[in-house]
Amino acid sequence: MAEYGEWNRKGATLSDVTAKKEYGVDYSFIVNGISAGKLEYREGNMWGNPYLKVLRGQLEQLITEKFGADYLVQQNRLTELRVIKKEMTALKKRLKELEARKAELEVALMKVED
């Protein structure tokens, strides 16, 4: 059973789609966990698309029971690596933009000095 206010805590819940991205589990795994009484859930609907919302702690516990703790650690590392790569790509793009702007300003300043 979920603790009081757990459904309202930031990051304590995730959708079935996010669970697939972060932990590599599919919709049927979540439904089986719900049927077994190991996962609490809420139904949601975004722009007409239904989804299941589950508690992260309960899902992690179920994953650990089914696949082991090593699997969970590995999936968390893969997720963190994916986030880092995405952030690095964004930073590289921003750096290129800043370098281009810097070059434009330097050229403009050279013309003013001449």
Q: What are the pLDDT digits (tens) for 57-107?
A: 999 999 999 999 999 999 999 999 999 999 999 999 999 999 999 999 999
Question: Average pLDDT in the 1-15 region?
Answer: 85
Residue 1 within a domain: no
As a whole number of angstroms, the distance between CA 102 and CA 87 comes to 22
Q: What's the pLDDT at 114?
A: 67
Residue 16 within a domain: yes
* 3-state DSSP assignment of residue 52: strand
Q: What's the pLDDT at 4?
A: 74
As a whole number of angstroms, the distance between CA 27 and CA 33 comes to 10
Q: Which structural domain range is residue 13 located in?
A: 6-113
Q: What's the pLDDT at 82?
A: 96
Interior angle at CA 79, CA 38 and CA 15, nearest 5: 40
Residue 38 within a domain: yes
- Please tell me the total count of domains within the chain: 1
Scored b (16 or more CB within 10 A) or e, 71-87 reads ebeebeeeeeeeeeeee
As a whole number of angstroms, the distance between CA 11 and CA 80 comes to 15
Closest among 80, 71, 1, 66 to 37, alpha carbons compared: 1
Q: What are the pLDDT digits (tens) for 41-59?
A: 999 999 999 999 999 999 9
Question: Average pLDDT in the 1-9 region?
Answer: 79
